[in-house]
Structure 1
Amino acid sequence: VKTRLFRIPREQLEDQCLRIQEENTLLKQHSRAQEQKLRRLSTKLLRLKQGPPSAGRDGELEDTLQELEARVATLESQRRALQSKLSLAKQNILDLGVRTHYRPRTGEESLGVDGDGGVRRAAQTAPARYGISSQEDTRGEIDRL
């Protein structure tokens, strides 16, 4: 047996050992999960056997209640995650607003007079209106030009 062992490369033996250890770990986890499931089912069976006939309905209601509680917990965690994303987005927007640098207007600029003495058009600061038909949009563009 020892002579066969030395013929197999050490790396191959180490890899095989690691694979077997990982498989063992996975099997142990699966076994624990199955044991927990078995305990829950046996407890449920004992409750059904010992309780009155209406207890079956109570057990079903209890199961439904547990499922709904789990769903509520999931939804609450999703809500918290979305709220944190929202606050992060708000903070990013605030940071962007702070970073943009506006140069202060001087006397002539605030009056709407261009540096060459001509009258400068005011920038559009109002948001675009919703619900305007494309034909009215086009007319507005033509009138503006």
Structure 2
Amino acid sequence: MTDPADLAHEVLLRVAAFVKTLPADQLADLASGAAKLELVPKGGRSANPARPAKAAPAAPSRPASEIEAMLAGLGTRQAAAQYLNDLKLTVAQLRELAKALSVAAPAKATKAAVITAIVDATTGRRLDSLALSAR
């Protein structure tokens, strides 16, 4: 069975048999692209697989200027923090956003710490200034 068409047919039959045994949630993940099938050699994975190079963090889905404008218009720190949480940005994306907004965020800060730093530097400063000028 060296004909590529015959080999492809055999592989597809085996994949179909495997996929039929998957639970519905895993099947849905495969269908949506959230999960993938991977070819693993018969002996299994090697002890030290080559690590892929770290990719640069993806930029936030919205421009930093748009996010900054939205944060400037929010009335409370809680609303600003909720807005950032709703964007579902990763820690790396939040750090990139902080950098774009000229906000200092420690390299090992948690997601919550980076959000707090961004909120304090944007919405928080404006609210503090308004509170002081109202006195």
Which range, TM-score by smaller chain?
A: under 0.3
TM-score normalised according to structure 1 size: 0.22
Higher helix proportion: 1
Q: Rg larger in 1 or in 2?
A: 1
Q: Which has the higher contact order (CA 8 A, sep 6+)?
A: 2
